[in-house]
Structure 1
Amino acid sequence: MARRRPGTLFPLELDILDVGTVLQSADGSFYGFALAKQLAAGGDGGLTAHGTLYKALSRMTEAGLIEASWEDPAVAEGEGRPRRRLYKVTGEGATARDREHARLASEAAATARPAGAAWSQTPGVIA
């Protein structure tokens, strides 16, 4: 497994939080297969196998970034399918997502800055 820098998310975890938040806002929660479909539709190649997704979901549940529960068995039975494990992004997960986006934006800005350039107090003027 890849090493994680303290206080950061793996790219797949950030994608799960981003897509999960969108799915959750529409349906109140999300489930693994719907999440996998949306991640695959994004086309970034981050999801290589569903096992990878479910391991990440488990790890994120243990970390408190998402919460998991089983749907009502009557709902699944009524639709003639197995029960789904439903997920919700927690407040801690939303905070981690926002912090990671800010960190990535900061790194991108630092990389875009010309090497050795000093920034003046006047916006848009390089000293």
Structure 2
Amino acid sequence: MARRREGRLFDLEVDILAAGMELQRTDGDFYGFALAKRIAERNEAVALTAYGTLYKALARMNEAGLLESAWEDAALAEAVGRPRRRLYRVTGAGELAYRAELAAREPAPVTRPKAAFA
């Protein structure tokens, strides 16, 4: 696994935050499969992110306070005949980390020395 630089996010974490904020604006809470589909759509990928990788990143980000999560109501899941989903939300800290990471990834502006006029 790549080593994390202090205060920086991995590419997958940036993708999770971006896709999560999009889903949150339209659907409120989001769950892993919907998140994986949105990441694939955003990246124009043929395959979804490996679920083991995705869920480990979600747990790590939840622990770091970038996401918050809760289990869906069991009765709701049972009513539609599927297992409960773990629902996620991007926190304020997650939005700030996302914006900071994008700013850190922007290339530095090129400055040219001013010509000396004689």
Q: CA RMSD in A?
A: 2.1
CA distance in 2, matches of 1:51, 1:16: 14
Does the CA contact (< 8 Å) of 1:12 and 1:46 recur in 2?
no
Corresponding residue number in structure 2 for 1:123:
none
Corresponding residue number in structure 2 for 1:17:
17
Paired residues in the alignment total: 115
CA distance in 2, matches of 1:101, 1:69: 28
CA distance in 2, matches of 1:37, 1:47: 6
2:14 match: secondary structure = helix
Gaps of 5+ in 2: none
Indicate whether 1:109 and 2:108 are aligned. yes
Specify which structure has the bigger relative contact order, considering alpha-carbon pairs within 8 angstroms and separated by 6 or more residues: 2
Q: In the superposition, relative to structure 1, how do residues 73 and 48 fare at CA in structure 2: closer, same or farther (>3 Å)?
A: closer
Q: In the superposition, relative to structure 1, how do residues 2 and 46 fare at CA in structure 2: closer, same or farther (>3 Å)?
A: farther
Q: TM-score, normalised by structure 2?
A: 0.88
Q: TM-score, normalised by structure 1?
A: 0.82
Name the amino acid aligned to 2:13. Answer: E
CA distance in 1, matches of 2:80, 2:74: 10
Q: % of aligned pairs identical?
A: 58
Corresponding residue number in structure 2 for 1:66:
67
CA distance in 1, matches of 2:66, 2:46: 23
Deviations 1:14-51 (CA, angstroms, capped at 9, x unpaired): 01000000101111110000001111222258964111
Gaps of 5+ in 1: 121-125
Corresponding residue number in structure 1 for 2:90:
89
